Amino acid sequence: MRTNISENEATAVNSKSNPEYNKKLDIIKKHKLTKADLSWFLKNIYLSRKTDDAEITMKKQNKAFFQISGAGHEGILSATAKVLKAKHDYFIPYYRDRALVLGLGHSVYEQLCQANGNTGDTASHGRQMPAHWGNVNLNIVSKSSCTGTQFLQAVGIAEAGLHLKKMKLKDSPVYNDREIVYVSCGDGTTSQGEFWEGLTTACVNKLPVLFMVEDNGYAISTPTWVQTPGGSISKALANFPGLKIFVCDGNCPIESYDTMVEVEKYLRAGNGPVLVHASVTRPYSHSLSDDHGYYRTKDDLADEHYRDVFNAFPRFLTGTGLFTTDEVKAHLDEATKEVRDSMNRALETAWPDKSTYKDHLYSDIDPTSSEFDTAPQFSGKEDIPLATAINMTLKSEIKKNPLMMVFGEDVADFTEVEKYDNPDLKGKGGVFKVTHGVQKAAKAGQVFNSPLAEANIIGRAIGMAMRGLKPVVEIQFFDYIWTAYMQLKNEMATTRYRSGGDFKCPMVVRVPIGGYLRGGAMYHSQSGESLFTHNPGIRVVYPSNAQDAIGLLRTAIRCDDPVMFLEHKHLYYQGYNRSADPGEEYMIPFGKARVVKEGKSATIVAWGALVQKSVEAAKELEKEGHSIEILDARTIAPFDFEAVFKSLKKTHRLLICHEEHKTSGFAGEIAARVNEEAFETLDAPILRVCSEDTHVAYCPDLEEVILPQTNNVVDALRKLLAY
């Protein structure tokens, strides 16, 4: 095969005065593309399309169970794969990016194994649908089904790279010099808020992120002009500060290559983020669950068929005389055979053993183990309130770990470095002062303020954690965590599982929670811990006192799982839950309840603010001759059911107290498990003391009725003991 495009071939085309072809030929000469390069483009386009077709065949034969194609997107994606570097750059491709992933080195066999859900699936090991890309060896980061969540994770990955470069740490995660983080979407996903949050943060911090928008004109059946101002994301962003925009015909791999060479040069020079707006086609329906013939005209589809890269690129190659018809056909035949052979091999590959269904849900580093059970070494300061205990632990741990990152809304003392040594300024350090001084204890860049956007905090932290950093982030109030719930539930909780352990997300999310503030009202008094216990993959921790806060937070930071660390605001500065300093190595294993006091008449299980109210209630009942055992759960996920069962063998009566609503609160789960596994130990029905099923009102008298009080616990105990 010839290795260069001859001048005679180019002249022959020029003589035909075809401006469209001449433009492409000029690009070929400009970049000195060889015939081997053009063959690579053609082969990759054919492989991608034929792999789509193979999946469609498998779906019809019930050998694949979902299909969504990358048809029409192969031009820009093949060019991108040709320019960027697998194993060097990082990639979070969306579901249309089959051609990119193939071009980076992911095989047809691996992709068809994912379609079948078998052990050859290196992206998810049988856990995710086809077209959910991932390959740890190629730096292709595991992608979920969620649209839009990937942008903030890409930002976090890029931030992690820059931090690693700055730290120059031995034995730390690898930083690749002048790396690029690629993240992509279709035109529809640009309507997601997290797309805009990602752009904003990338521009403010001048990050090397490539935002690839593959515009095929439709978000399922909704056309671009319905959702994007001016019908064009590049027009809408034309004056966005700090963002360089490139527009190209993504149907043509030659023009796309020309664009991507410039994009790469700009990004590797450290100029900040880029958005590439590539126009592509969608010749197949959105997925096999959709029929675009219901909402697209025959003329529209015929026009797409003509512009479709699968037809247009071979037409260019033969029309210019660069390839013969036989050469083009040979490439198609070769791709068809490779896909057919790969499909046959994939269908012979075994499914995962059924016993592996829970593998990689959590880390092999078990935070419930004795490794995290260390004795306190009391010394130094005593009478430490819970808020100060958390503050001390953050300072201690960040001094030891240059990979630890602390950020959130207002968590830093200062944004501007020059203010650090200003004697007139004390610094912010969080609205509850829990992070005050942590920034000064850390190295530069480890502590910083985030935008006022909860999804931004969690999404970036996920990207950092995937890359090897240890984010310990703060959501300022539990009441506003819900904009981040998608990131927490569908991303943070699932990362390890959905990638078969290839990627992980060890991070801590600190969240002030709860009421009893007198005037906190419904948007500063919410509880809802059960909404996180319902997410496998997340640890949920809820300390009630300073010593436990120290031990549990250190375990949370040093373990290898994502942890929700819930801090009750009302308990931050109380007098009754203070402690002496248990030392800088003190840890408490998760899933181990604390026996607050022993007793024989009844068992109370509580956590958070209800621990102290249970203690006060028990004192009332002890005046009447009863002996009440109280268990502080300390962690809700995992929950120490064995401690409850053990206690019930003595007391035979159970009262569960928590601040969350009674309906669907976690007390219901405890009661159900006791009923299933320890029913014979009960001498009375299980009772609950919880918040009323309404929102917390501003008026203190109403708040007192709504939230559980000591007298409610007393009344419930009397009822339980009288049964």
Domains of the chain (ranges plus CATH)? 7-351 (3.40.50.970), 370-571 (3.40.50.970), 594-722 (3.40.50.920)
CA dihedral in degrees (276, 281, 287, 291; nearest 10)? 140
Amino acid symbol at 626: H
Between 424 and 602, where is the model more confident?
Answer: 602
Which neighbouring-strand residues pair with 567?
A: 512
Please say if the pLDDT value at position 240 is more than 60. Answer: yes
Chain Cα centroid distance, residue 552: 23
The pair of three-digit structure tokens given for residue 672, joined into one six-digit string: 């159900």
User: Are 273 and 207 spatial neighbours (Cβ–Cβ below 8 Å)?
Assistant: yes
Residue 8: band (very low, low, confident or very high) from pLDDT cuts 50, 70, 90: very low
User: Are 531 and 495 spatial neighbours (Cβ–Cβ below 8 Å)?
Assistant: no
User: Are 132 and 117 spatial neighbours (Cβ–Cβ below 8 Å)?
Assistant: no
Instruction: Identify the pLDDT of residue 417.
Output: 76
Q: What is the pLDDT of residues 302-314, one digit of tens each?
A: 888 899 999 999 9
A 10 A CB-CB count for 531 gives 18
Mean pLDDT score, 312-337: 97
524 among known catalytic residues: yes
User: Are 36 and 45 spatial neighbours (Cβ–Cβ below 8 Å)?
Assistant: no
Say how many residues make up the chain: 723
Q: What is the 3-state secondary structure (H, E, C) of 116-129?
A: HCCCCCCCCCCCCC
Please say if the pLDDT value at position 154 is more than 60. Answer: yes
Q: Peptide bond preceding 536: is omega within 30 degrees of 0, i.e. cis?
A: no
Q: What is the pLDDT of residues 168-206, one digit of tens each?
A: 776 778 888 899 999 999 999 999 999 999 999 999 999
| CB-count exposure of residue 431 (10 Å: 0-12, 13-18, 19+) | middle
Instruction: Identify the pLDDT of residue 423.
Output: 84
Residue 16: band (very low, low, confident or very high) from pLDDT cuts 50, 70, 90: low
Q: Which residue has the tokens 């379609």?
A: 115
A 10 A CB-CB count for 518 gives 13
The pair of three-digit structure tokens given for residue 59, joined into one six-digit string: 């779906």
Instruction: Identify the pLDDT of residue 37.
Output: 98
Which neighbouring-strand residues pair with 406?
A: 447
155-173 exposure pattern, b = at least 16 Cβ within 10 A, e = fewer:
bbbbbbbbbbeebeeeeee
- What SS3 class is residue 184? strand
User: Are 554 and 587 spatial neighbours (Cβ–Cβ below 8 Å)?
Assistant: yes
Q: Peptide bond preceding 638: is omega within 30 degrees of 0, i.e. cis?
A: yes
The continuous run of DSSP H or E covering 632 comes out as: strand 628-632
Q: What's the whole-model pTM score?
A: 0.95
Residue 135 DSSP label: B
Q: What is the pLDDT of residues 453-465, one digit of tens each?
A: 999 999 999 999 9
**Percent of the residues in the chain that have a pLDDT greater than 70, as a whole number:** 98
Chain Cα centroid distance, residue 678: 38
Instruction: Identify the pLDDT of residue 170.
Output: 66
Amino acid symbol at 203: C
Instruction: Identify the pLDDT of residue 276.
Output: 98
The catalytically annotated residue of 163, 286, 524, 658 is 524
Q: What is the pLDDT of residues 95-152, one digit of tens each?
A: 999 999 999 999 999 999 999 999 999 999 999 999 999 999 999 999 999 999 999 9
